[in-house]
Amino acid sequence: MLSHPLARAIGVEVLALLLAATCAGCGHPETMLCDACREGIRAAPLMRRTPSGLLVRAAMPFESIASRCIRRLKDDGETMLARPLGAALGEVLSGVVDAQAELDDPVRLVPIPTSQSAFRRRGYRVPDLLIRRAGAAPDRLLVRRGRRADQRGLDSASRAENVRGSMRSRPAIGGGAIVLVDDVVTTGATFDEAARTLREAGARVVSAVALAATPRLGERNANASETRSK
């Protein structure tokens, strides 16, 4: 049990952290995530298809509050955000797992692997952390290999070329239905490469799940029109 002085010291440090914090979603001071922004990152599922036709379920669009919270988790080390974001991801994952269970098909959740440089910089793997906060266990069947350019700013064809050959599978894949998991899906090129790598190793990839999906142009326009009309 903590001694009284030590407990008080820890309490003072936690209070100082909260007082220095700003809400990841709106910048409101003295909180890591305000109640309104917490509501803004609840699951609002949507579906995508990768260029190769793999079905992707995303928990929310990558915009507004969600995009700011995810960037704070990925770029600023604010791992406390993994819990509410993981809860949203978990709602989608549970639906996938339940659907496969009806087929008596065990599901393995395979995270898209993080590069060694990103892992050293952050100290954690974002997809793995989100899966755990969703109440599940990541099955790390994929490993990154080589160095690749940042995907941001690349078009669909360039993204596919950039990730080609960027992963390898671990030996002894085993059975079960594999569901790929990542934090953000844009074109789906990374999911396609992961699926190709695993299938060549004899695995059965059935679908993919992402925490967030980058809105398509039509969706952005619709959201902007809806915002203007309010």
Band (pLDDT 50/70/90 cuts) for residue 39 is very high
Beta-sheet pairing, 204-213 with 55-61? parallel
The pLDDT value given to residue 2: 47
Domains and CATH numbers, the chain: 8-40 (no CATH), 43-229 (3.40.50)
How many other CB atoms sit within 10 Å of the CB of residue 189?
23
Residue-wise pLDDT for 41-58, tens only, equals 999 999 999 999 999 999
Task: Please state, rounded to an integer, the average pLDDT across all residues of the chain.
Answer: 84
User: Can you read off the two tokens belonging to residue 13?
Assistant: 């440090």
Sign of CA dihedral 195, 201, 206, 209: negative
In this prediction the pTM is 0.82
Scan for tokens 């395979």, then name that residue: 110
Which has the minimum average pLDDT: 131-145, 163-177, 212-226? Answer: 212-226
